[in-house]
Amino acid sequence: MKILPEGAEPYKRTATFTDANAPSALRHRHTTKDGAWAKIVVVSGTLRYQILEPLLEEHLLSPGRPGIVEPTVPHELHFHENCEFYVEFYREAGRKSA
């Protein structure tokens, strides 16, 4: 699993999502903006996180096992029943915009 860069600073957090209220865009190929890292934090249940490029990777996320999204890397999420999660967005230290 990837790790956040040293000194990465949080700047935004989503609401807590479930299978019922998560934006449909998360279920399909999408990316973060240039310079924007993300941490997928599972509150309960499990969530399958697929990194689509440059090589396919698949991770089962759970409480205490977050997923890290690198800037501009295509990925998607597959929800499991009773999963609750949120996403925290980070930028590298000193970077003003993401």
Q: How far apart are CA 88 and CA 90, in angstroms?
A: 7
**Which helix (H) or strand (E) element contains residue 73?**
none
Asked if residue 3 belongs to a domain, the reply is: no
Tally of domains in the chain = 1
Give the range of the structural domain holding residue 14, as residue numbers without chain letter: 9-91
At 58-86, the pLDDT tens digits run: 999 999 999 999 999 999 999 887 899 99
Would residue 98 count as lying in a domain? no
pTM above 0.85, yes or no: yes
Q: Using CA atoms, how far apart are residues 19 and 9, in angstroms rounded to an integer?
A: 28
Q: Does residue 64 lie in a domain region?
A: yes
pLDDT tens-digit series, residues 6-32: 999 999 999 999 988 999 999 999 999
- For residue 26, give the CATH number of its domain: 2.60.120.10
Domain-embedded: residue 1: no
DSSP state of 16: P
pLDDT at 60: 97
Radius of gyration for the chain, computed over Cα atoms and rounded to the nearest angstrom: 13
pLDDT bucket at 96, cuts 50 / 70 / 90: low
Q: In the 3-class helix/strand/coil scheme, how is 21-33 assigned residue by residue?
A: CCCHHHHCCECCC
